[in-house]
Amino acid sequence: MENKSVRQVLLVEAIDILNDTAVITTPCVLRAVYVNETLSAHAISIKDNTTVIFKIPASSTGGTQFDFEDSKFNTNLKVSAASGFTGSISLIVSPLEQSNVNL
């Protein structure tokens, strides 16, 4: 009998992304970011703790999806944007068990 594991997948809507918001406070895998509403002229930084890993471009239009090929975040996942930011995004993430972080 083959041992299969199931990974939890969460859809997280980032609401307050102006203040370096922690979306997931444990190690995780980022699968995708979906732009719900067109973004203002401010890029969104996606960080592993304090290190910027990706940027969602300013003025990305609603309905755009960015796929991240299961990018691993070893500490946590935070999002932030500059003051005056408007628009909204949703993130598709999977939490990792602490023991799997360095695989």
pLDDT in tens, 37-77: 999 998 999 999 999 999 999 999 999 999 998 899 999 99
pLDDT for the residue 68: 92
Measure the CA–CA gap between 27 and 86, rounded to whole angstroms. 28
Longest CA span, the chain: 55
> Which value, to the nearest 10 degrees, does the dihedral of the CA atoms of residues 65, 60, 39, 37 take?
-40
Measure the CA–CA gap between 14 and 50, rounded to whole angstroms. 17
Check pLDDT > 50 for residue 4: no
Spans of all domains in the chain: 10-96
Architecture label for domain 10-96: Sandwich (2.60)
Structure tokens at 11: 């859809």
